[in-house]
Amino acid sequence: MSANWKDFLGRLGRSSGAAESGGVRYLVAGLGNPGKPYEGTRHNAGFEVIDRLAATVGTEVKKKRFAALVGEAQVQGRTLLLIKPQAYMNRSGQAVAAAMGFYRLPLERLLVITDDAALEPGRLRLRAKGSAGGHNGLADIIEKVNSQDFARLRVGIGLSGGGDMADYVLSRPPAKEREILDRAIETAVQAALCWITEGLDAAMNRYNKETAGPAELSAGSEQI
């Protein structure tokens, strides 16, 4: 591990004056793959939540920093940094760790938003910590920050139904599933805002019960 990464990791887990007095206090990272070929794919659900969240709080995620696109906003007096890493999914950790180290944010101020094939389409799951669960983006963040102790909000995209998983996650959902995913993304925005303003426990209690309607994927040509 390089000296620079050791310095970043040394800053994580410690609060600082910058984190408490007008600087960035919260970081929300959405995971995806950069570039037009990946726009609208299931694997880019994290990017879509960030874009919708940015629009909700009145900012844009387009400034280039930390090998990512970032945007800053105020939410009830709290300064929030939104981040979309611009390396591919399995290299998401560098941008997240760099931003966390720069602002000297403790891990409890980090929320990572990802897709999750283990959850049915539209289902949300917010957790305080945990393993990567097979998600390459989460695995890289865990490696780079040297901890599993950060919140993550998973957006369900469902399983491939026996097809190739890589093709499935990198493809765009059909219309009915797209509607369900859109509603889940909107709910995920509200969950992220609740995490910022009311705390993790309140957000888990409220939004882990939420679903955007996966039961609507009834048997038929558009079912996974």
Catalytic positions are: 43
Alpha-helical regions (H) of 146-174:
165-169
Backbone angles phi, psi at 25, to 5 degrees: -115, -20
- Three-state DSSP class for residue 137: helix
CA pair distance 5, 165, nearest whole angstrom: 33
Question: What six digits make up the tokens of 146?
Answer: 């040297």
Compute the residue count for the chain.
224
Q: Return the SS3 of 39.
A: coil
On the 0-12 / 13-18 / 19+ scale of CB atoms within 10 A, 64 is exposed
* Residue 210 Cα distances to 47, 123, 176, 207, angstroms: 20, 7, 18, 5
- Cα separation, 149 vs 200, in Å, equals 13
Burial class for 191, CB neighbours closer than 10 Å (0-12, 13-18, 19+): buried
In whole angstroms, what is the distance from residue 124 CA to residue 11 CA? Answer: 31
